[in-house]
Amino acid sequence: MNDELRQRVIQALQRGEDLPSDWARELFPPEKREYELTYYGKEREEDIIAGTMAVPLQAERTFGRNGVDWHNMLIFGDNLQVMKTLLEQKKAGKLCNADGTPGVRLIYIDPPFATKREFSGSQDQKAYQDRVAGAQFVEFLRRRLVLLRELLANNGSLFVHLDQKKGHYIKVVLDEVFGENNFRNEIIVRRTQKNYLERDYISSLNVATDILYVYARSTQTQFAPVFKDEAIAETWHSLDAPNWSGTRPNLIYELFGKMPPKGRCWAWSPEKATDAIERGDLRPNPRTGKPVYRIPARDKTLCTSLWDDLAAYSFSSGYPTEKSEKLSARVVQMATTEGDLILDAFAGSGTTCAVAAKLGRRWIGIDCGKLAIYTIQKRMLNLKTEIGNKGKARKLQPFTLYNAGLYDFSKLKQLPWADWRFFCLQLFGCKEELHTIGGLQLDGKLKGASVLVFNHHEKPGVGIDEETIKTIHAAVGKKIGRKFYIIAPRGVFGFQQDYIDLDGVRYYAMRVPYSIINELHQREFTALKQPNDEMAVNDTVDSVGFDFIQPPKVKWTPGVNARKGQLTKEAFLKIDKFESRARLRGEDTHGGMETFSMLMLDFDYDGDVFDLDTVFYNHQMEEAGWEARFSAESLGNNVMAVFIDIHGNEAREVIPLTQFSLQPTKPVAKKTKAKAKPKK
C-alpha cells in the first residue's frame, strides 16, 4: 500500500465511510496467503528480522579443550537477541555443520505452552505455570520462529513440542512462516500418565499426549527411518485388494489355481508374485488355498507418527518440564547425522544438548533462566554414556558458557583494544566501517551515522567532557551529519546527559556499562527476569537491549539448628539483608527482598566448578523466615552459595564448614567434576 492510498483509507475511516470495493486488490494483494492468523500486535517478518537487536556473546568460561573449527555453546540470554547474533554468524560462515554446510541442521524447541495451568514435576511440586497467553504468546513465539527459519540449513528441519491448548494456533503460524508445503508430520507423543479414581462423572478426559510439529526448510530436507523397540512376530495376509471401477485388469490373473474374488484383484503384478513365491514370501493359505503373503518377524518396528512407546517427560534432574532423553534421541537420529549442528532455543534442563553430545552432534543451547543454565552445566559435566543417563561416565564434550545481554564489565574492560573496539561496536549494533571525517579517525556506522570508539587504553585518565565535544564539533562540523556516537567506559564521560546538541548535530554518549538508550531502539528496553517461585521457572521472557552485571549486596548467617529429638543435625543459611541494583531504562534502581529470586547451593564446592545441588526460591525462604534449611551431613568442607536477583545478577559466597559451627570432614573421594579452563 502506498502512502497516498494509506491516507485515503485513514480519511475514509475517520468519516465513517465504507471502503470502495475496487481498493480490495491494494489492501489484500493476490500474492498474500489465502488465510493467516490475524491478531493485535502482529509484525511483518521483515520488521522482526530488521528490528531485533543482535547482542554480542561474552565468553564466561570454557569447559574442556575446544576444537579448532567449532565449540559447543551454552548461552544465557534472551533467545531472540541471541538468534539474531547467530544469524550474523551464519552469514559470516561461522555457524556450520561438520560437512561445511552453513546453518543449523536441526532445531528442537519445547517452548512454554502458555496454558495458564500448573504442571506437577518431581515430588509433586507445583513446577510449571505459563503466564503469557493469547495473542501475546502467539506473537512471542512467531518472532522466534521467523529467526529460527533463517538459522536453518537449506536441508534442515524444525521440531516444535506443544500441548493441546495452543497447538492449533501455532500450527497456523508455522504454516505461515515455513509454508504449508513444508509441513511434514504431526507426531503424537505419550505423556507421563496419572492415575485417577473412578467417578460417576468427569469434566474432561485425562490428557495423555503432546504434539510434535515437524517442518522442513525446503524440499531438500530428508529424514532417516527410526524404529520402536518392539518385536513383531511373523504374520500372513491375504493378497486380494479392491479393484476400483475395474481399472486394474492387469492384476486379475490365476494364482495357485484361484482367481480374485468378484470386484477385487491381486495386490501384486504377476512378476512380483513369482519373485515372492521363489523367496517363500507368497503361498496358498493351507485352509482356503487363497494366496497369502508373509510379513517377516523383526526385532524393531518402523515408527509412524504415533510415538506411544516412550514418554515425553523424564524429571530425572528435578527440573520442571524436563523431556526424556529417549524422545530427544529419536528426534536427533531422525533428523541428523554425526557432526551436524543442533539448536535448542528453550534449553531448560538441557536434554537436547545432552543427547546431542552423546550422539556425536554439535550443539547450541540457549536459555534466559539461571536455574536452567546451572542445571545444564551440571548435566553436561556429569554425562553418562547411555541414553537415559545410564552407564559409565562419559568423556567431557567441551563447551563454552556465554553471557548475552547481561555482561561482566570488569572482564570487558580488560580486553585488548582491538577486542574492546569490536565488542563495543557489536554491543550497540554498529557496523564496523573505518572512515575519516575532518581528520578524525572513526570506527563504524550506526543507522548511517558515524561512530567513534574511544581508546581508553591509549589515553588512560583522559576524559570526555563538554569541551571535548566542542573540539570534535569544531573539527567535523556539519560534515558529520545530524548524529554522532561516542562509545567509551561510563567513567570516561564528564557529563550525565545522554547527548549534547551543537548547531543541529546531536552527540550521543554511549556509556559502557550502560543499558541501551531508549531513543536509539524501536522497542523500549526491558531486562531479563528470573523467577521467584518454581511455578514461574518457564515464564516467557522478551527482553530488549542489554545490561551489565551488578552483584546484589547480601548479608547472611550460617548455622546449625540443635533441636531435641532430631537424629541428624539441620544446617541453615539465613538471609539477613538483600539489596539488588540494576540500571533499567537509563536509571539506577534499588530493591530489597522483593527482588530476591533464588538461592542456589553446592554443598561440596571443589574450588573450581559450581555444581548445583539444590535451589530455594523467594517464597520458600520467606515462608521459612528467610532461612534455607538442609541436612548438615550433606555438607563438604566448603559450601558455595549463589544469591540471584530477579535480573539475573549473582552474589557468590564460599562458606567454610566451620562457619556452620561444624568440624571439617576428612579428605574423602569426591564426586568427579570436570575442571574448567579459562577461555583463551
- pLDDT tens sequence across 339-351: 999 999 999 889 9
Sequence ranges of the domains in the chain? 3-32, 100-228+303-395, 235-295, 415-520, 550-677
pLDDT for 22 equals 62
pLDDT for 538 equals 60
CB proximity list for 390: less than 8 A, separation 6 or greater: 384
Structural contact between residues 128 and 535, judged by C-beta atoms closer than 8 angstroms: yes
Question: To the nearest whole number, what is the mean pLDDT of the chain?
Answer: 85
* C-alpha to C-alpha distance for 547 and 55, rounded to whole angstroms: 11
pLDDT for 5 equals 76
* C-alpha to C-alpha distance for 545 and 81, rounded to whole angstroms: 8
Query: The cell 504442571 sits on which residue?
Result: 119
Confidence of residue 461 (pLDDT cuts 50, 70, 90): confident
Q: Evaluate if pTM is beyond 0.85.
A: no
Structural contact between residues 53 and 430, judged by C-beta atoms closer than 8 angstroms: no
pLDDT for 257 equals 95
Beta strand segments in 426-495, E = 431-437, 440-446, 449-453, 483-489
Does an H or E element contain 651, and which? strand 650-656
| CB-based burial, 31-60: b 16+ in 10 Å, e otherwise | eeeeeebeeeebeebeebeeebbbbbbbeb
* C-alpha to C-alpha distance for 285 and 395, rounded to whole angstroms: 56
* C-alpha to C-alpha distance for 154 and 174, rounded to whole angstroms: 17
Confidence of residue 153 (pLDDT cuts 50, 70, 90): very high
Whether residue 207 has pLDDT greater than 70? yes
Whether residue 384 has pLDDT greater than 80? yes
Burial of 98 per CB tally in 10 Å (0-12, 13-18, 19+) = middle
Q: Give the cell for residue 413.
A: 574492560
Could you give the 3-state DSSP secondary structure of residue 473? helix
CA 211 to chain centre: 18
- Kindly state the average pLDDT of the residues 174-196: 86
For 371-383, write each residue's pLDDT tens digit. 999 999 999 999 9
What percentage of residues in the chain have a pLDDT greater than 70? 83
Give the residue with greater pLDDT, 563 vs 664: 664
pLDDT for 675 equals 45
Q: Give the cell for residue 72.
A: 559447543
For 612-656, write each residue's pLDDT tens digit. 999 999 989 999 999 999 999 899 999 999 999 988 899 999 999
Structural contact between residues 435 and 442, judged by C-beta atoms closer than 8 angstroms: yes
pLDDT for 664 equals 77
Whether residue 491 has pLDDT greater than 50? yes
Count of Cβ atoms closer than 10 Å to residue 498 Cβ? 16
* Multiple choice CATH, 550-677, 2.60.40, 1.10.10, 1.10.760, 1.10.3470: 2.60.40
Report how far apart, in Å, the C-alpha atoms of 455 and of each of 117, 476, 489 are: 53, 19, 10
Q: Give the cell for residue 168.
A: 492449533
Confidence of residue 671 (pLDDT cuts 50, 70, 90): very low
Name the superfamily (CATH) of residues 100-228+303-395: Vaccinia Virus protein VP39 (3.40.50.150)
Whether residue 116 has pLDDT greater than 70? no
Give the residue with greater pLDDT, 344 vs 490: 344
Strand partners, 565: none
